[in-house]
Structure 1
Amino acid sequence: MVTGRTGAILGATTVAPAGAISGVDETRTNADSAAQVYIQYLKGAVALSSYDLNMAVSTVTIARAAFTTSDPAASKFFGYLDQIYSLGGAIPGLAPPLPSPPPPRPISGPSPPRLPSPPLPPPLPPLLPPVPVNVTTSFMGCYKDNAAVRALAFRLIADRANALLFCARLTKLAGYPFMGLQGSNCFGGTDLARAESYGVRAATECATSCPGNSTQTCGLTTSTLVLVSVYSVT
């Protein structure tokens, strides 16, 4: 979805049922996750680097332009958007929702007072110097994966900067205890139940070099076998 030096911020949502992961669902998951991280930043609960902050805001901005309020599946995202506005957050190029129009004025009688113009959105918070996210990882194993129903349900990002620390930081910011590396893909998950059901393989079989660090391995992707390198994250 997004590329860069330190990653994009994508957070936790309800685990989708088996077979329900799709491109559209991943887009909504990314937007919901980015909105949640931006809300936590505005509340002062997390510290973000300038790049991570810009990625979160950019993801929310793109989703706001793409989603419609008539889409029931996007209702959670628009709830997060209301929280962002109430906390003084800004979405570049988009003003907060306009107030409801006044009722039609009567044919006779004085005109109702004109409503003031809606305020301009506040400026973006100043860019902050990079703040390191301290993470500890522990290798859990090389697991078989399924491209249709992933061993770890949430794709956090697909980025050529993907590597162990890159994915670990995203996973910790998103609030997941487990992460999976598979080529340029970084996955997050709440448990290893599905991974265990697919089966563990020899650690040496996860032999694909990470695009962001060739000394590390990020699972395996071939025409006949898909594996994911799984770590715990604290």
Structure 2
Amino acid sequence: MPDSRTSATRAYNSTLRAEQAASTRQRILDAAAACFARSGYAGTSLADIAGEAGVSVETVKLNGPKRELLLGAFEQAFSGSESRETIAESEVGREIRAVADDEEFVAGYIHFVAEANRRTSGLWASFLSAASSDPLVRESLDDLLARRRVDFRAAVAELERRGLIDPAIDDDRRQELADAMSFLVSPESHEQLVGQSGWSMQHYESWLRDTLGRVVFTR
């Protein structure tokens, strides 16, 4: 008859190893994000990531090739998770949509996007650069952009549900509004306004709210 104590010990050890592996991977992805943002994709080696994370190069290799670390680092920095679900499907997306007050909803949405842009500042440029020379990174970028388009269509649908945009608009207009939102809250806008022009994050968020109000919202 199996010893229940032995089974419990094995289960505990298995859980502990899984938690340690997850913690190590998160540290590696954080290190990869820092290295890619600082030195670019081509200028970053697995040894650089290992040194930043305080682990061996072999440990970094076990967590994937460089292109996979780039994607994982970006996903983790943007949303806090490597999950490749859309923002609308994510826990944070559901929490934002659950806010009943329209003003609080808009403020929460803008704050999330602004902070995500801040966390991925520099990393996005490395992603674009890598995609220009690596077909597999290009595929990852195309997938990310496709999910981004889905997210902004979902955002427009939520605004329409709340009566914040004209409910009588047609599908072409919905897509136009989604494209406009994507442009305004893009990583490029954050880089130009915060990174290059020196705006504070508070100013940036205020500008996003005012500009979206003029371009997208009807009230």
Q: TM-score range by the shorter chain?
A: under 0.3
- Relative to its length, the structure with more helix (as a share) is 2
- TM-score, normalised to structure 1's length? 0.25
Taking structure 2 as the reference length, what is the TM-score of the superposition? 0.26
